[in-house]
Amino acid sequence: MLRARVRVVLVGAGHAHLLVLKHAGALRAAGVEPILVAPPTFHYSGLATAVLSGALPPGRALLDVGALAARYGVRHLPAEVAAIDRQARRLHLSDGQDLAYDAVSFNIGSVTACGGDLQGEGEAWPVKPLSGLAGLRRRLEDHLADGVSPSIVVAGGGPTGFEVAAALAGRVERAGLSPRVLILRRSMPDWASARALGRLSAALQRRGILQTSGEAAGRRPGEVLLLDGGALPCDLLVMATGLQAPAVIADLGLPLSQDGRLAVGPTLQSPGDPTVLAVGDCAVITGSPRPPAGVFGVRAAPILAHNLAALGTGARLATFAPQSRWLSILDLGDGTGLALRGRVWSLGRGALMLKRRLDLGFVDGLRAASGEVLED
């Protein structure tokens, strides 16, 4: 008698799940039926600011998820999970479908933690989900088409806030105008060494990218309102105020980390429900917290693939230990980058060249595997 296949639903097309697709044949051989539930397009985070600055065309940062899934024979449902019934082991999808599962893995990235809706009139552009950056880019280009360098405020003093501010300035510079960009931070940044941050701040200041302390609380035409009652000139407000897991993670009713990500063990399973796994920005390994970064999803992918196969074979589960030091590189929008690994850093063109090689290597490798042809 043939044993029934174990149905594993991969929710989200993050770094890890895209790489797990390459193991689809091995999963089927292990008695596992993988199904991918994800939007049709993958927005690669490593190239998002390169597109925002105008250094690369939008298509370089996009992947056809359906084509990649089809290449490996994986059924792809172009939808999102609207709700989950863990007792019945069913997913309710945004397109109205219900989908039964034996195990489910989440790799759905993160969204900007805006701290509630800003009061008043005017737009505020969150940096995530990445699909929203296209609208920000178009709005900036509307200003530039009129020959105007808009007053841009980026709320958030973390690496993302600095990188996005530099990217927006780069787009203004490419239009032949002088940037007017302000980074609005709650406190002095400490995510790199004092020397690295000093060099970075000086380089940004020379380009018209300034910093001040404060917190955005609201909007009105031409201004951002501050929590202390003040106001600053602002045509474009960008929110880079930290990241949190999408709402569906909290709706699972499972243990979360302090920052709202799904708590998982080294086997990538939730301690509250071993049929629920998670990797990437939406999850954190208890006892080994790491910031949201694509490198951890990439490193976790082979462990996830092994453990999903083990659900079919009964093999022993593998464990994932995220590295304590990792390379991150900020694209500064002017042909230079800031590379960071622990307290070691390098600022210059070489850093950006390395970033481009790594990022384009990853996304172009997946594109080649899918057979997708990039249009000029």
Can you tell me whether residue 297 is helix, strand or coil?
helix
pLDDT of 268 above 80: yes
Q: Give the model's confidence band at 342: pLDDT under 50 very low, under 70 low, under 90 confident, else very high.
A: confident
Please return the burial class of 142, using the count of CB atoms within 10 Å of its CB with bins 0-12, 13-18 and 19+.
exposed
What is the pLDDT averaged over residues 283-310?
91
Which residues have C-beta within 8 Å of that of residue 198, sequence separation ≥ 6? none
> Do the Cβ atoms of 126 and 154 come closer than 8 Å?
no
Start and end residues for every CATH 3.50.50.60 domain found in the chain: 6-38+79-110+245-324, 115-243
What is the spatial distance between Cα 89 and Cα 204, in angstroms, rounded to a whole number? 51
* Least-confidence region, from 104-108, 118-122, 176-180, 322-326: 118-122
**What is the torsion angle, in degrees rounded to the nearest 10, for the CA atoms of residue 266, residue 270, residue 275 and residue 280?**
-70
Does residue 322 carry a pLDDT above 60?
yes
DSSP three-state, residue 347:
strand
Residue 115 pLDDT > 80, yes or no? no
In the predicted model, what is the mean pLDDT of residues 107-131?
79
What is the distance between the alpha carbons of residues 282 and 292, in angstroms, rounded to a whole number?
8
Residue 119's pLDDT band (cuts 50, 70, 90) = low
Q: What mean pLDDT comes out for the span 41-63?
A: 95
Q: What is the pLDDT of residues 66-93, one digit of tens each?
A: 999 999 999 999 999 999 999 999 999 9
Whether the pLDDT of residue 3 is over 60: the answer is no
pLDDT, mean over the chain: 93
> Which residues face 282 on adjacent strands?
none
Model pTM above 0.85: yes
Average pLDDT of span 225-247: 94
**Does the pLDDT of residue 160 top 50, yes or no?**
yes
- Domain formed by 115-243, architecture: 3-Layer(bba) Sandwich (3.50)
Rounded (5°) CA angle 139-355-17 = 80
Place of tokens 């069913």: 90
Residue 374 has pLDDT above 80, yes or no: no
**Averaged pLDDT for residues 107-130:** 79
The bridge status of strand 344-348 relative to strand 337-341 is antiparallel
Fold that domain 6-38+79-110+245-324 belongs to in CATH: FAD/NAD(P)-binding domain (3.50.50)
Please check the confidence at residue 170 and state whether its pLDDT lies above 50: yes
pLDDT at 2: 45
Percent of the chain with pLDDT over 90: 84
